[in-house]
Amino acid sequence: MLPQNQENNKNKEIFSKFFYKFLSHEKNKNLILILGLAGISLIFISNFFRDKEHNPKKTPEIKSNSDQYSERMEQNLEEIVSNIQGAGKAKVLVTLENSIETVYATEEKKNKEAAEDKTNGETTRKKESDDCEKKYITVKDSEGTEHALAVTEIQPKIKGVIVVCPGGDNPTVQQKIINAVTAALSVPSNKVYVTKSNI
């Protein structure tokens, strides 16, 4: 019986000879290469899908101030119209002519200069320049970043309002809805359209 080390060496030799013979054929080399590439590809694909499952990328929905403004109005109007007798559950769309405009605090510096040209003691030409320099007033936040100081916001003008509800085909209900919307938003009645929903 061979000692353990010699037996291991003999097994290694047999395996090396077999592997060498196997690799000496061109077809077998190509097969190993293809299998290796397929294995690597499978590893990459499985990692890609695993990452996608565990970390689904969600792009946060960023809404502008104007979008938030119109959404708030729509929700308020839906609640008001839905409470009008005969209207039913309403859906409202508010369209805006422009976006919210922010007015920032400014300071002005005026420089006035006057110059005269004199010939023989008489003024021949007067020259005046009036320069005005406008600068935004800035404030620092808790992180030390400077921002322009907002004074007020000018709300956008309303282009039109559409109200859709089950009672939208009843002339009496229509008039009540138009009266409510025009009173709430201070818009003329020709900017409000009321129609019946199919629900």
Average pLDDT over residues 62-76: 80
Q: Alpha carbon 149 to chain centroid distance? A: 24
Note the pLDDT tens digit of each residue in 20-64.
555 565 665 666 666 667 777 777 777 766 655 555 444 444 456
CB within 8 Å of 34: residues ≥ 6 apart: none
CA distances from 94 to 152, 156, 161, 192, 196 (A): 23, 11, 5, 9, 17
Q: Tell me, yes or no, if the pTM score tops 0.85.
A: no
CB atoms within 10 A of CB 194: 25
pLDDT, tens digit, for every residue of 151-170? Answer: 777 788 889 999 999 999 99
List the structure tokens of 96.
């805006």
